[in-house]
Amino acid sequence: MSAPAADAQLNDPVLSVDKVSVRFETREGPVVAVDDVSFGVRQGEFLSVIGPSGCGKSTLFNVIGGLLTQHQGTVSVAGETIDGPHKSIGMVFQEESTFPWRTVTDNVAFPLELVGMAKAERVERARHFIKLVGLDGFDNRHPGELSGGMRQRVSLARTLASKPKILLMDEPFAALDEQTRLLLGDKVLQIQQEIQQTTLLITHNITEAVQMSDRILVMTYRPGRVKRIVDIDLPRPRTSEIVSSEAFGRYVAQIWADLREEASRGMREAEDQVLHHQGAES
Amino acid sequence: MNGGAGAAGTTVAKGSSQAGGRHRDDRLHKALPTLVGIASVIGFFLVAELLIQFGVLNRFIIPPPSQILGSFGRVITEEHVFSRFLLTATECLTAGVMITVIGVAVGVAMHRFKLFQQACETWAAALASAPMVLCYPLFLVIFGRSAWTMIIMGFVSGLPPVILKTIEGMAGIRKVLINVGRSFNLTRSQQFWKIQFPAALPSIFIGVRLGLIFALINIVGTEFLINFGGLGQLIEDLAERYDLPGTYAAVCFVILVSILFFMALEKAERWLIRAD
């Protein structure tokens, strides 16, 4: 492959989101959750989507994952337009999503079982991913015996076992404490760097986004639009130690400046809504 | 050098004896609830025995446990208790299989078709609290003095809890688990067998346990009422003869049927969860 061709392949987005809009009908009338959002994620890139609560991040996650098909615009993976769940996209959810009736190995081997892989082979493959997320030794435990952070790692390993082109994560560490979140961020970074996994992270946590991303897409409060895309020019490989660097602080401040206005608007609208409801009730 | 080896040997010996001790402690810890359970039953019978022997309880209403224990041999040899036990157990097993298969299928269908659920769930709930044993004349007319009367009585009374708990189990499945299935592109059948069914199993098994309790009560009750069949008829015969120790001994066999079914259910639940 010639150098320009290789560059073109590297720069061509493996995931393209083109003019995606989502509108919901509510009792108060139609609500535009996501409006004309377009962006791309390049091969091996780590891109985070950040925005205040209610900006349509999770709606966007569901559209890209194919769980929400009622939308305008297109989502394509490597040039193929998708309209529903696609094997190239592996999803990690915000809520705890391990199967409590299966052991760690059986949870991770789940996607391999679906493709009809022989038991011995899938157990071996599952062990590889269990080790990758740092859970070796817990193979035969059930999720009920694990902590919240460990369970999220099982979910991550299960998704990685399906070898997706794009790893799509929706605030996977939202329910965890700050220290566990930083350490799991390290783990995700390590895995991402090790297997060059293209990753799209949906989050509302600025620290988490700056710690892990190559680029951060900042969204506006309702309707969710692309406000700005920030390139994070921090050295790799990274660990959570980077949070104490000056450059890290500058990025956090820059993104917070963008987000603050949106988050304040969201807060004001939420307060107005409460007052409106109270007025209507009285 | 030798001393070192000796010390190491002592350490290993200490380690293995500590491990052995821990193992014994673990076993004791696991067996403790069973032991306390058995001890409490023995304690209850001892207290009952003492209260009867000292005349606090009337021995003509409640026979002393020692007499009940003594009557077991007679009940086993003279009253053909094993064939009766087998008959009641078979009726209960047949009704149990029917309530499980039909109850789970109806529960899943009701959850799937909301109109069906909205239309019929209240009827199932009403049926669950109705004294179905009073309907025995109807089934006696339809099925005659046969085991089928008891089986259908058990089936009708045990069905509602299975349906209701299946609906509850299906409705209680976390949406994220369904979404995991969707994200892996599962077919509808895979979605059901790989996610929904195992996720609803704990609730379904609660329903089956309740259903079996209702079925057993109604089966033995109907045997008692129509004086036909297994242990219920034996209890009625012995009570008619005012053989109270024998009556209570026969009741113990009914309890044995119940225990056996619960043990089998526990095994089935573990097997099904592992077989997913």
Judge: A87–B195 Cβ closer than 8 Å, yes or no: no
Look-up of token digits 């789940």: A110
- For the beta sheet containing A215-219, the strands, ordered from the edge strand earlier in sequence to the opposite edge, are A89-92, A166-170, A198-203, A46-50, A215-219, A226-231
Q: Is the pLDDT of residue B132 over 80?
A: yes
Q: Are A235 and A190 in contact (CB under 8 A)?
A: no
| Predicted confidence (pLDDT) per residue in B6-53, tens digit | 444 555 555 556 666 677 778 888 888 889 999 998 999 999 999 999
CA distance B100 to B208: 6
Residue in B173, B183, B191 to test binding to A, most A beta-carbons within 10 Å: B183
Query: Using an 8 Å Cβ cutoff, are A124 and A174 in contact?
Result: no
Q: What residue of A is the nearest CA neighbor of B182?
A: A85
Maximum separation of any 2 CA atoms in chain B, in Å: 92
Dihedral angle over CA of A119, A121, A123, A127, nearest 10: 180
Contact call for A101 and B174, based on CB within 8 A: no
Low-confidence ranges of chain A (pLDDT < 70): 1-11, 277, 280-282
pLDDT value of residue B192: 95
Per domain, the residue ranges of chain B are 1-62, 65-275
Contact state of A101 with B198 under an 8 Å Cβ cutoff: yes
pLDDT at B272: 78
Q: What single DSSP character describes residue A154?
A: H
> Bridge-partner residues for A24, per DSSP?
A31
Q: Which CATH number fits domain B65-275: 3.40.50.1860, 3.30.67.10, 1.10.3720.10, 2.40.50.100?
A: 1.10.3720.10
Q: What is the pLDDT of residues B209-248, one digit of tens each?
A: 999 999 999 999 999 998 887 899 889 989 888 888 999 9
Which two tokens mark A114?
């679906």
Residues of A in contact with B187 (CB under 8 A): none
pLDDT (tens digit per residue) in A27-42: 878 889 999 999 999 9
Across the interface, do B184 and A95 touch by the CB < 8 Å criterion? no
pLDDT at B5 over 60: no
A contacts of B182 (beta carbons < 8 Å): 66-67, 85
Mean pLDDT, all residues of chain B: 87
Which chain B residues touch A93 with a CB distance below 8 Å?
A: 176, 179-180
Nearest to B180 among A87, A97, A100 (CB): A97
* All structural domains of chain A with their residue ranges: 3-88+166-226+255-281, 96-163
| AA letter at B150 | M
**Segments of chain A assigned E as strands:** 13-26, 29-42, 46-50, 72-77, 80-82, 89-92, 166-170, 198-203, 215-219, 226-231
d(CA B125, CA A205): 47
C-alpha distances out from residue B219 to B76, B87, B150, Å: 21, 11, 5
CATH class of A3-88+166-226+255-281: alpha beta
Residues of chain A with a CB closer than 8 angstroms to some CB in chain B? 65-67, 84-87, 89-91, 93, 95-97, 99-102, 110-111, 114, 162
Distance CA(A266)–CA(A220), nearest Å, equals: 9
In contact, A42 and A11? CB cutoff 8 Å = yes
Q: What is the largest CA-CA distance in chain A?
A: 72
- What integer pLDDT is reported at residue B268 of this predicted model? 85
**SS3 of A112, please?**
helix
Q: What is the reported pLDDT for A281?
A: 66
Q: What residue of B is the nearest CA neighbor of A87?
A: B184
How much helix, strand and coil, in percent to the nearest 5, is found in chain A? 45, 25, 30
Q: Look at chain B and count its residues.
A: 276
Q: Is the dihedral of CA A62, A65, A70, A74 positive or negative?
A: positive
| Contact between A101 and B177 using a beta-carbon 8 Å cutoff | no
Give me the interface pTM, i.e. the ipTM. 0.87
**DSSP-derived secondary structure letter, A84:** S
A113, A118, A122, A124: CA torsion to nearest 10: 170
Q: What is the mean pLDDT of residues B163-169?
A: 96
Is there a contact between A89 and A64 (Cβ–Cβ < 8 Å)? yes
Question: A114: which chain B residues are within 8 Å (Cβ-Cβ)?
Answer: 184, 186, 190, 194
